[in-house]
Structure 1
Amino acid sequence: MNEITMPSHVIVRYVVVCTTLLVCMLTVAGCRTKKKEEAATTPPNIIFVFSDDHAYQAISAYGSTLTKTPSIDRIANEGAILRYNVVTNSICGPSRATLLTGKYSHLNGYKLNEKVFDINQPVFSEELQKKGYQTAWIGKMHLGSLPNGFDYLNVLPGQGQYYNPDFVNAKKDTVRYPGYVTNVVTKLSLDWLNQRDKAKPFFLVVGHKATHREWLPDLQDLGAFDTVTFPLPATFYDDYKGRIAAQNQDMTIDKTMRLKEDLKVHSDYVKSDIYNRFSPEQKKPFYDYYENKISKEFETKKLSGKALVEWKYQRYLKDYLATARSLDRNIGELLDHLDKTGLAKNTVIIYASDQGFYMGEHGWFDKRFIYEESLKTPFVIRYPGVIKPGTEINELISNIDWAPTLLNLAGTTVPKEMQGESFLPLLKGETIPWRKEAYYHYYEFPKPHHVYPHLGLRTDQYKLVRFYGPQDFWELYDLKKDPHELHNLYGEKGYETITADLKSKLKGQITQYKDDEAMKIVESKP
């Protein structure tokens, strides 16, 4: 076979091309390595979207058939969903105090609503500031004071208003913003994102008033669910047999929910502080809907007994879900902003509510009880490149774990006095030792809903509860056999060993979390 020879100039050109390709490949590889190193060392931005009283039963990512929440679902689908995220004290202000401190109510001092949060205690956002983060809280805070640790504050005073809300800044100046509160909170949050120091990482709380009572929807959402008839929950007509606290509460749709204030039937549009805030352009469609349509419907039906209770339930859900509709829409607007600005690539976004809420289960609305609907709260989180899309966390996560996890995400130290643990390893798919029990302690009594103070323990299968105060008694539930918590097993034959074991674990939790008051309660005989 004849040997093939190549002209010298062709060989030279071939060598040059190969050398150039090799250099390019090494350069690209070097750039990729550099980008990975930068991604690993650059602290992520963190946005915590925090709503009020938003039930997991009203979120389609949690299996809700009542409504669709595409924006919240998007975070879950592109990141992780916590299936058993529980709170330590199911009430608004104390939940926010726990977020800030990573501590139980008995240690952070904020046990009840409408108190004043002690701003002299450490909060996790101060640790973020030490790490170089710029920090902000915009919207609902509901702590009676303005905590340290935030470079920018613009918050609703107290519960805030749904229409034309006032905001208070760090200088304690009050400014009224026109519009619907959920939209206003989003606009102020986007304004801050656009005006921030772009050389620094940021942490932002977007605090929404929705879906708090009295559930005033955005004008564009009025009547959004009027063509829907919602099925009654299986426990709607619960008789509370064997459950003293459930028998004596004041939070039923039947007796507690108010026609005028809550359901807007013949509301006082002249004297009410709520409606006096409306502009004429806002009041007209609102008045037309509730007075000319809903109130007339109510008068025409002349309801009583179960028919009245069930009509109130339908109106409650329609207003609640219409209010939640704007919440999800605004979360979508925030997600779109992150995409358009390129922030999504290195921004952790979290959606959570301050606690769970009753959507007619046991005939109730509101929260407070250790029972599942109020104990569990939604929590979804997205962190591109770190949390695998579609991740589900089935371990018992508590809201004392939120602050340590946020600090862990930022790559900074978790103070030893915090009582929670970071669940970031779980989000990354790692197998680590994790709690088998979650401890709970609720205090507020008698107003506003006459729920007896109580403490307790939740495991993967059981729930043990000690009520105290007006009456002392225990409750025990097998969550696998009785997920609706209808059958109190405490004192029944055959559960002696389980009860003793749970009491021992409860005392262990009380000791671990330094709740001295609780120890005195469980050691006393009911």
Structure 2
Amino acid sequence: MEDRMKIGQIISIALLFFIISAMMAQAQMPQASSQRKPNIIFIMADDHGYQAISAYNNKLIQTPNIDRIGREGAVMRNAFVTNSVCSPSRAVILTGKYSHANGMRDNGTYFNGSQETLPKILKTHGYRTAIVGKWHLFSEPTGFDYWNILPDQGNYYNPKFIKMGKDTTYTGYVTDVTTDLALNWIEKNQSQPFFMMLHHKAPHRNWMPSQQYLTEFNDRHFPLPHDFYDDYKGREGLQRQLISMKEGLDVRYDSKVPCDTCAITQVNDWAPAEFQREMERLTPAEREAWDKAYADEYKTFLQIKEKDKLLRWQYQRFLEDYLRCVHSVDDNVGRVLKYLDDKGLVENTIVVYMSDQGVYLGEHGLYDKRFMYEESFRTPMLIRYPKVIPAVQQVDAYVLNLDVAPTFLDLADISIPKDIQGKSMKTLLAKGKATDWRKEVYYHYYEKSFGATAHYGIRTKRYKLIHFYDPVNSWELYDLKKDPNEMHNLYNEPSSKDVIVKLKGQLKSLQKKYNDQYDEKNNKFLD
């Protein structure tokens, strides 16, 4: 009898232990997709201007897959960046802080990966985190369970990657490869909420198209922007820049013409050798197709004798190759959306498409970014999350890349750290408007490469005030209602005095808010 009682006690204890273990295991299991935190896929292209997305402008190209994100969610009509250049923009997105606060003011600085970042916060709240593609922050990624990144700018063909610290080379076109890596990782990491940063190299300079699109747009003629021949009158910063198509494009690197005798500009003295290295990455079959596709372009180039005709031809070549790269990006966005469809992940996955900044597609005669003028200051941003965001929204409120991190945290019901300077767009996205939203935007650019001038400024609905402070010291004022293309600097006109006083007051308030205060008397920023 005593033995049977002992056996019964042992069985009871074992059963109790089994029940407790099962309950603990259940508690640790991911919740059903209808209850668990949302998955997040953040797709970012490099230098993708809103002018080249048909959701914003259908005159240059059709981008049905990128458009779909906005059609099933929201198109942000007034999205801006805080610093229009690659590395700083990426740091802003990771931290939710302005460049002076996160330490990444320009390209070439090492990002301080020890600071708090979006992936680190998500990771502590049960997310699997990954980044693939262009990183461009020079230090090793932190806060990610998996990272497989392009070194520096990366290559378009048969690209090198750094996979968790190990050099790796993949066969294929970089936009396709980056998407392959992202989808392969997502496939293996669905047991927990996941955060994927899918960063494309394209359509960054030197705009090398995939084999599929080598001859796309051969039958198109793209009209010059009406301000293509801008003379930069009254705008000292523009007068000294080195990113104009007239002076800054390299025939080899940018127009894909093998010309050993063509002049080399000082700002692009590296370009001919870099183009040669890029061409050496093509396989023999790829090189044969490439040479065949561009043979007629080379013949045309040889026949051009006039400088202006050459400039117009280079503009056409630039836009053809740029848009060919965009085609591949759009195709691969479609692959991601189809994957979510096929796996039943649409309802519980936030998808964002944006660029690290805008870019000039010939406006003001330029081809790069950097300045606070609209084309590079403004960035595309499209967001889909069926649970929160009603479909077919066109949101006009001023949003920033600064707002990405707090928005993701808020949508995942995670507390936003107090030192984050951006604002959550959750309410704005849910309702399409918000009564307490920002009415103006602050911008600060630091670099002096490519002849640029450090500057900061404020944009309101009606006006834009810019102060160029290093190495020149000048102000610019634009009435965006009367002069949306920013051709006429009104700063020195007597009638602008009252507007300038008001804008400078607003500007100082923003600088104080973000702790980026400027001593105008001594022409320097306070520490």
Within the alignment, does 1:192 sit opposite 2:185 as a pair?
Answer: yes
Q: What does residue 209 of structure 1 align with?
A: 201
Q: Is the 8 A contact 1:468 1:521 kept in 2?
A: no
Instruction: Name the CA distance, whole Å, in 1 between partners of 2:206 and 2:77.
Output: 28
Structure 2 partner of 1:168: 162
Inter-partner Cα distance in structure 2 for 1:521 and 1:152? 45
How do 1:94-133 residues align onto structure 2 when only pairs under 5 Å count? Answer: 94-133=88-127
Q: 1:154 aligns with which of 148, 151, 156?
A: 148
Distance 1:494 1:523 in 2: 27
SS in 2 for 1:62: coil
Number of the residue aligned with 1:282? 286
Q: 1:130, 1:354 → 2: CA distance?
A: 26
Q: Distance in 2 between matches of 1:342 and 1:257?
A: 46
Q: In 2, are the aligned partners of 1:186 and 1:330 still within 8 Å (CA)?
A: yes
Aligned-pair distance for 1:334? 0.9
After TM superposition, give the deviation of residue 470 of structure 1 in Å. Answer: 2.2
Relative to the length of structure 2, the TM-score reads: 0.89
- In our comparison, the structure showing a higher alpha carbon Rg is 1
1:163 maps to amino acid? Y
Q: Is contact 1:47–1:204 with CA below 8 Å preserved after alignment?
A: yes
Deviation at 1:272, TM superposition (A): 1.9
Please name the residue that 2:61 is paired with.
67
Residue 227 (structure 2) aligned to one of 232, 235, 253: 235
Partner residue, 1:298 = 301
SS of 1:480's equivalent?
coil
Output the CA distance in 2 between the equivalents of 1:305 and 1:55: 27
Structure 1 residues 86-485: aligned runs within 5 Å = 86-170=80-164, 172-196=165-189, 198-266=190-258, 272-290=276-294, 292-299=295-302, 301-429=303-431, 431-445=434-448, 447=449, 449-485=450-486
**Corresponding residue SS for 1:336:** helix
Report the Cα offset of residue 345 of structure 1.
2.0
Q: In the alignment, what sits opposite 2:46? A: 52
For each residue in 1:129-154, what CA deviation from the matched residue of structure 2 results, as whole angstroms up to 9, or x when unmatched? Answer: 11101010011111001232111101
SS in 2 for 1:425: helix
Match of 1:32 in 2: none
Distance 1:38 1:477 in 2: 53
Identical-residue share of aligned pairs (%): 46
Moved over 3 A (4+): 37-41, 267-271, 521-525
Map Cα deviations across residues 23-72 of structure 1 (whole Å, 9 max, x no partner): xxxxxxxxxxxxxx977742111100011000000010002301100001
Residue 519 (structure 2) aligns with = 520
1:344 to 1:312, Cα distance in 2 relative to 1, 3 A: same
Q: Shift in Å at residue 288 of structure 1?
A: 1.9
**CA–CA distance in 1 between the matches of 2:396 and 2:34?**
27
The amino acid of 2:472's aligned partner reads: Q
> Which of 72, 78, 81 is the matching residue for 2:75?
81
**Alpha-carbon displacement from aligned partner over 1:462-508 (angstroms, at most 9, x marks no partner):** 00000012221111001011000011110212221111000000000
Contact between 1:452 and 1:470, CA under 8 Å: does it hold in 2?
A: yes
Alignment partners' CA distance in 1, 2:521 and 2:146? 43
| Per-residue deviation, 1:363 | 0.6
Alignment CA distance shift 1:283-1:520 (3 Å): same
Report the Cα distance in structure 1 between the residues aligned to 2:423 and 2:281, rounded to whole angstroms: 44
C-alpha contact (below 8 Å) 2:257/2:298 kept by paired residues: yes
3-state SS of paired residue (2:55) = helix
The alpha-carbon deviation at position 374 of structure 1 amounts to 0.4
8 Å Cα contact 1:117-1:147 kept in structure 2: no
Aligned in 2, Cα 1:267/1:167: closer, same or farther, shift over 3 Å?
Answer: farther
- Cα drift, residue 308 of structure 1: 1.3
Partner SS for 1:428: helix
Which position in structure 1 is the counterpart of 2:490?
A: 489
1:174 is displaced (CA, Å) by: 0.6
Would the aligned equivalents of 2:469 and 2:523 in 1 still touch at CA under 8 Å? no
Offset of 1:522 from its aligned partner? 7.0
Q: Deviations over 1:274-317 (max 9, x none)?
A: 11211112111112222x22112211x32322211111111100
C-alpha distance in 1 between matches for 2:304 and 2:401: 45
Unaligned runs of 5+ in 1: 1-36
**Pairwise CA RMSD of aligned residues?**
1.7
C-alpha separation in 1, matches of 2:50 and 2:37: 30
CA shift digits 1:159-178 (9 cap, x unpaired): 000001111122x1011000
Measure, in 1, the Cα distance between the counterparts of 2:176 and 2:156.
10
The letter for the 2-side match of 1:255 is E
Q: Distance in 2 between matches of 1:384 and 1:39?
A: 13
Partner of 2:27: none
- Asked if the contact 2:410/2:416 (under 8 Å) is kept, the reply is yes
CA distance in 2, matches of 1:184, 1:287: 23
Contact 1:261 1:267 in 2 (8 A): no
Deviations 1:75-98 (A, max 9, x none): 111100111100000000100000
Q: Aligned partners of 2:509 and 2:156: how far apart in 1?
A: 43
Deviation of the 1:523 alpha carbon:
6.8
Q: Give the Cα separation in 2 of the matches to 1:41 and 1:335.
A: 22
- Assess if the C-alpha contact under 8 Å between 1:79 and 1:391 holds in 2: yes
- Name the SS of the counterpart of 1:468 in structure 2: strand
Q: Which amino acid aligns with 1:91?
A: V
The one-letter amino acid paired with 2:69 is I
Conservation of the 8 A alpha-carbon contact between 2:34 and 2:348: no
3-state SS of the aligned residue for 1:414? coil
CA contact (8 A) 2:128 2:195 kept: yes
Q: Distance in 2 between matches of 1:521 and 1:190?
A: 50
| 2:106 and 2:447 in contact (8 A); partners too | yes
CA contact (8 A) 1:117 1:143 kept: yes
